[in-house]
Amino acid sequence: MALSAAAPSDLLKKGLKRYPETLAKEEIGVSSSCLYSEVEAAVEACVAAQTAFAIQPWSVRRSIVNEIREVCGELAEDFALWAYSETGRGDYMDKVVKQRLSAEKTPGPEDLGCKSMTGDEGLTLIEYAPYGVIGAVTPVTNPTATIIHNTICMVSSGNGIVFNAHPAAVCCTNRVVAVVNEIVKKNGGPDSLVCAIAEPTIETGQLLLNHPKTAANLVTGGPAVVKAALKSGKKCFCAGPGNPPVVVDETADLKEAAKAIVEGASFDNNMICSDEKEVFVVNQVYDQLLEQFRKAGAYIATSEEIKTLEKAVLKEHPGTFTHGQVNVPFVGQSAKYILSTVLGKEEAKDAEAKDAEDRTRLIIAPVEDGHPFVYTELLMPILPVVSVPSFEEAVACAVKAEHGYRHTASIYSTDVQRITRMGRTVNTSIFCVNGNHLTGLAAGGEGYTSFSITGYTGEGMTRPRTFVRERRIVFVGSLNFS
């Protein structure tokens, strides 16, 4: 079922609304004019396309983005299916949510504008210009939604983009690139404004990041790819790792906190970097919070079970207060799978969990501070929970566990002073109060969506305005009408 260079309307007619188990991995193929075997050819094509696109009317940008939203929203189930089937990671229905969120809530050309300053000396305009061609490396954990978000941002800001997909997600990633490229062409844009490497590798990624004709780099992934991008000497937008902490104090609504945390930490089997990764709770409400987790449908692991889990999901014991190395086959797997394969258990559904789903989505691991689960971005639905003596200690532990990534953190509290104190101290790009981390992505929260959160380089939630250069145009002694 190879994807041809069909028009978006034809793609919509295909339907393909099927569940993931009905699609074999080998069925995911790609054939499109925007996929290149060589980095050099891809960059040259994108440079030519972006040069032409930069002088086209803004109406073309708006038309392209509007149809990307429409088509990608319609094909959300298919994109989720492709990603799930190829990578074997995450949760299919949660991936559908991610595709729609990316298509609907990523800002478009409206994010840009013009500032003006007038006075006796004339008129000064501040306008925004594109960088040119952006070299982008995308992750296996969130492949298709990242393409939608990045593409809307780049088209809106007038840039071209060349994608180097993670090798374990190349087919689903490049299929979405092919769909978007057809949308660009249909709406008057140039071919290969959005393009990709057909068979990406680490080597092609290095060539792309260091290519002399790319103006900047956008990477979404782990520490290694961030380090590689920064070595290029170019402007880099780096959405690196995260290990988002949660603090729960004694003033919190524990029932609502537990329910929200379970929803957030289990979303897409915890593969999003902004998902909750560890919880620090004031000890006077620790037992009550664990009970609320159980009632919310989570499985509470025993100390012996935690030791077994540790041996299975970590390649080795790294010691205390140290980031461990995750056993990759468990990344993005479901709580049900982990309970079954590691602990030999069927799902443990508590009779009181009336509001929970029919399946256990999260494993709670009560541990001491310093446990490797706390300091390792596990990317699976195992959530370490640590009891601490005070709110102050909880914040200190949260800052340490976050590793200075400046990514995401949250607090459950009704004390405004404490909320303010933690927000200032942890200083992350996303800070959620009395809501899970999905709200920070505008799922149940206000604002816009981003799936490239560049806390590492300081831009935070990326948007079209992130990927432009500010230009000043000065009219001296004229055009000052007031």
Asked whether the beta carbons of 97 and 443 are under 8 A apart, the reply is yes
Beta strands in 138-296 (DSSP E): 160-164, 194-197, 216-220, 235-239, 245-248, 278-282
- Asked whether residue 128 carries a pLDDT value surpassing 60, the answer given is yes
Whether residue 249 lies inside any domain: the answer is: yes
| Residue 4, domain member (yes or no) | no
- What integer pLDDT is reported at residue 9 of this predicted model? 37
**Amino acid in position 434:** N
**How far is 456 from 283, CA to CA, in rounded Å?**
32
Band of residue 19 on the pLDDT scale cut at 50, 70, 90: very low
Question: Rounded mean pLDDT of 453-482?
Answer: 91
Identify the CATH number of the domain in which residue 303 sits: 3.40.309.10
Q: Which of 418, 279, 419 is nearest to 362 (CA)?
A: 279
Angstrom CA distances, 240 to 152, 222, 467, stand at 20, 5, 17
**Over the stretch 89-127, which tens digit does the pLDDT of each residue have?**
999 999 999 999 999 999 999 999 889 999 989 999 999
Distance (Å, whole) CA 297 – CA 289: 13
Q: Mean pLDDT check: name the lowest of 22-26, 229-233, 456-460.
A: 22-26
Per the model's pLDDT, the better-predicted residue between 324 and 72 turns out to be: 72
Is residue 143 a part of any domain in this protein?
yes
Please check whether residues 222 and 365 belong to one and the same domain: no
Q: What is the mean pLDDT of residues 430-440?
A: 98
For the segment 252-263, what is each residue's pLDDT rounded down to a tens digit? 999 999 999 999
Whether the pLDDT of residue 267 is over 70: the answer is yes
Residues 287 and 423 reside in one and the same domain:
yes
Query: What confidence score (pLDDT) does residue 31 get?
Result: 59
**Quick one: tokens of 415?**
């004390």
How confident is the model over 312-333, as pLDDT tens digits? Answer: 999 987 778 888 899 999 999 9
pLDDT higher than 50, residue 41: yes
Q: Is the dihedral of CA 238, 240, 243, 244 positive or negative?
A: positive
Average pLDDT, stretch 366-383? 97
Clarify whether residues 290 and 171 are in a common domain: no
Q: Answer whether residue 248 shows pLDDT above 80.
A: yes
Give residue-wise pLDDT tens across range 406-433. 999 999 999 999 999 999 999 999 999 9
- Based on the fold, state whether residues 306 and 207 are members of the same structural domain: no
Average pLDDT, the chain: 91
How confident is the model at residue 69, as a pLDDT? Answer: 97
In a domain, 453, yes or no: no
- Range from 9-18, 59-68, 84-93 carrying the lowest mean pLDDT: 9-18
- Show the DSSP H helices in 187-274 as ranges: 202-209, 223-230, 254-266
Residues 333 and 193 in one domain: no
CB 314 within 8 A of CB 372: yes
CA distance 451 to 49: 25
Burial-class residue 271 by CB neighbours within 10 Å (0-12, 13-18, 19+).
buried
- Separation of alpha carbons 349 and 327, rounded Å: 27
**CA gap 392, 421 in Å, rounded:** 9
| Contacts with 273 (C-beta within 8 Å, 6 or more apart), sequence order | 141, 239, 241, 242, 244, 377, 407, 408, 453
Q: Assess contact for 226 and 456: CB atoms under 8 A.
A: yes
Q: Is the pLDDT of residue 294 over 90?
A: yes
- For residue 196, tell me if it sits in a domain: yes
314 contacts 325 by C-beta, under 8 angstroms = yes
- Give the integer Cα–Cα distance in Å for 327 and 468: 39
Question: Above 50 in pLDDT, residue 356?
Answer: no
Assess whether 278 and 365 both reside in one domain. Answer: yes
**Alpha helices, DSSP H, located in 323-477:** 335-343, 372-375, 391-402, 416-426
8 A C-beta contact, residue 373 and residue 365: yes
Q: Residue 453 above 60 pLDDT?
A: yes
Whether residues 261 and 354 share a domain: the answer is: yes
Q: How confident is the model at residue 29 (pLDDT cuts 50, 70, 90)?
A: low
Total domain count, the chain: 2
Decide if 2 is inside a domain: no
User: What would the two tokens of residue 367 be?
Assistant: 């541990």
CA distance 167 to 86: 11
Q: How far is 354 from 372, CA to CA, in rounded Å?
A: 33
163: closest CA among 16, 32, 20, 9?
32
Q: Do 17 and 132 fall into the same domain?
A: yes
- Confidence grade of residue 233 (pLDDT, cut at 50, 70, 90): very high
Q: Same structural domain for residues 147 and 85? A: yes
Domain with 203, as residue range(s), is 10-240+461-471
| Domain identity same for 273 and 316 | yes
Q: Quick one: 170 and 263 in the same domain?
A: no
- On whether residue 325 sits in a domain, the answer given is yes
My answer on whether 308 and 393 are in the same domain is yes
By CB neighbour count within 10 A (0-12 exposed, 13-18 middle, 19+ buried), where does 176 fall? buried
341 belongs to a structural domain: yes
The pLDDT value given to residue 352: 47
- Report pLDDT digits (tens) over 2-11: 333 333 334 3
Which tens digits make up the pLDDT trace of 172-189? Answer: 999 999 999 999 999 999
- Using the predicted structure, report yes or no on whether residue 229 has a pLDDT greater than 90: yes
Whether 32 has a pLDDT exceeding 90, the answer reads no
What is the domain-level CATH number for residue 188? 3.40.605.10
pLDDT digits (tens, 9 = 90+) for 129-187: 999 999 999 999 999 999 999 999 999 999 999 999 999 999 999 999 999 999 999 99
User: Tokens 């040069």 correspond to what residue?
Assistant: 51
81 pLDDT higher than 60: yes
